[in-house]
Chains A and B, each alone.
Chain A
Amino acid sequence: MVTVNALTELPPRPDAGELVAIPQGWEVREVEQFLYREARLADENDYDGWEALWTNDALYWVPVDGEGDHPRSTVSVIFDNRNRISTRMKQVKTGKRYAQAPPSNLRRIIGNVELIGGRENAAGGVDLEVGANFMALESRPRGNELWGGRVTYRLRQVDGQIRLVYKKVVLVDNERPLPTLGFLI
């Protein structure tokens, strides 16, 4: 039998560890185009298109309290692996995910796109880590919300396509009460 204590050990937090050099073969313009596409799919509630960007080792993380504490031992707004992203998409596609039915009207701007470094992945490769700032205006029946923050992406080239491995969204106001976040941030 597995001992109780062995199961309490936490893996390193997903943003722990040192970056390595920016991997070869990435063009900043191409990276930006990918980020803009991801943003457009999210803005337009294209759930299938957005979900298809992710790799199987996906991690979609929206912490609270700045950069957040360890997401396996403390609560986050979102901490989705690939399965949970899929569940989230299936739920919203029922049309009865009332927090997003009707869906938000939404547009976001991404800026300050910066290639940050390389991040070694479990398969032995190196993913590209990209930082950006964003601002999104959300319109819902009860009013508008302005969302803003810092996004860290990890990207990987798979069969000649750019895919999304990791997206961490640190909202500037994540130390305060947040309204319902029903859309894809």
Chain B
Amino acid sequence: MTALLPPEIEGGSRFDRLVQPARVHGSLYTDPSIFAEELRKIWHRTWVFVGHESEVPQPNDYVRKQLADQDVVMTRDKDGELHLLINRCAHRGLQVCDDKAGNSSSFRCPYHGWTYRNTGELLGYPYNKGYGGKNKLELGMGKVARVDSYHGFVFGSLAAEGPSLDEHLGAAKGEIDRLVGLSPDGQVKLDAGWLRHRTRSNWKFLAENETDGYHPQFVHGSIFGVTGSPIGALYSDNSTAVTRNLGDGHSENDLRPEFRSFAEPMRWFGTTPDRVPGYVAAMHEAYGDDAQRRMIEGAPHVMIFPNLFIAEIQVFNIQPVAVGECVQYATAVQMAGGHELNQRMVSQSIGSVGPAGMLLADDTEMYERNQRGVEMADPEWLDVRRGLGRESVDAAGFTIGAATDETGMRGFWTHYKSLMEAED
């Protein structure tokens, strides 16, 4: 493991020393005490992506989810309200909900039969005279303190106080808007199941890589080459795409400049309008003159801090397990109303992502080699300076870099540092 603290820099906070404008320290990825601090200050505090409302469409639907180290149950109560229950009995700590998903208005702990409503409220306990009768205990399942959603994307914050989801998402909301704006009825679903990819790497390598436009030509050259994919060119030295720091730790690879120059609808999806006529007609009906622009510009490629990555037609939910391990949950975007793009998006996602994906298995190989690398002693630092000398500010006030620049990573680290410097 790299040294816990770089010795040559003094003064400032601990994270001033570890997170610098052009480099970050290797111990950020290997030190278990930093990971424990991240759980407290990031994962148990900020808004974390958990799932999607379309996974629990009906009253009393539920599905088990992970929020960092917490096993949670996402429920929709009889009135349609969402809850994130911590899957732990108030009596002896067991997991109350065993099934992965289902429909039930209540959960019964197998150990002593304590029963909870799907809002977390304790409904009853057997042989109640032992507690002086019914309704004597002011106990319930734990709950993720705040639950909110944006266009169906459900987030939870274990902190009762803090910025609202709206404030947390900030400019990244516009990217979710872009995604749902490619659906003729303005909604997407994440109901195609999840691939679960175990990754022996610190979670931050993934968050940094998602908008790293420098790697695709190298890591994915094998698949771009054999399929004749034009994606590689979007991330070349000549690309007009930009990397944008959206603030609040969020970043994107904005490929629209490239797609606008081609001005070909559905090029972003690797197809042409005549091959998806039903979708194109539905878009024109829904959005009129604006449909063409939407279908030319395509879907976002955005990393939303700390764990939601929207990669055009795939959605990733990254959850940490330990300092050197995380899980990537990945699914295909589906459009409400079930039209012809959905099967294509499932098929493309199966080919690209998950443990055998022809793209993501290679990214994951890099993450795992990253992790092995930062366990080496020297050099202690990782370099994040690419493009620092050629950044500019766009019309909306965001810092942008070239397609292959590390502008997104630097935005990640600025926000990371601000959260880690906060009081416990």
Contact = CB atoms under 8 A, between A and B. Distances in A.
Given A7-B339, A75-B330, A178 B282 contact: no
B226 A94 contact: yes
A94 B222 contact: yes
Contact of B364 (A79, A175, A180): A180
Contacts of A98: 219, 222, 362, 365-366
B195 A64 contact: yes
Interface of chain A, helix or strand or loop or mixed? loop
B282 A4 contact: yes
Interface stretch (A66-74, A105-113, A130-138): A66-74
Given A75-B349, A87-B226, A99 B200 contact: no
A88 interface: yes
Residues of B in contact with A, size category: 35 or more
B342 A179 contact: no
Contacts of B342: 8, 73
B159 interface: no
B102 interface: no
Given A4-B278, A91-B226, A177-B327, A142 B355 contact: no
Interface in A60-95: 62, 64-65, 69, 71-79, 84, 87-88, 90-92, 94-95
Nearest to B226: A90
A29 interface: no
B63 interface: no
A1 interface: yes
Give the interface size bracket for A toward B. Answer: 35 or more
Contact of B343 (A65, A72, A142): A72
A65 B63 CA distance: 14
Nearest to B100: A175
B153 to A, nearest CB: 18
Contact of A7 (B227, B278, B330, B362): B278
Contact of B227 (A4, A69, A77, A87): A87
A75 B340 contact: no
A97 interface: yes
B101 to A, nearest CB: 10
Contacts, number: 130
A91 B358 contact: yes
User: Which of B195, B222, B361, B366 counts the most chain A CB atoms within 10 A?
Assistant: B222
B64 to A, nearest CB: 11
A136 B225 CA distance: 31
Interface in A1-30: 1-5, 7-8, 10
Interface in B325-373: 327, 330-332, 337-340, 342-343, 346-347, 349-351, 353-356, 358, 361-362, 364-366, 368, 372
B362 A72 contact: no
Contacts of B100: 65, 175
A49 interface: no
Contacts of A78: 350, 356
B355 A75 contact: no
A78 B278 CA distance: 28
A181 B356 contact: yes
B365 A7 contact: no
Nearest to B225: A94
Contact of A65 (B193, B327, B346): B193
B194 interface: yes
Given A72-B343, A96-B221, A182 B361 contact: yes
Nearest to B278: A4
Interface of B: 100, 192-198, 200, 219, 221-223, 225-227, 277-279, 281-282, 327, 330-332, 337-340, 342-343, 346-347, 349-351, 353-356, 358, 361-362, 364-366, 368, 372
Given A74-B346, A75-B349, A99-B364, 7 more contacts: A4-B281, A4-B340, A88-B358, A91-B226, A91-B358, A176-B196, A181-B355
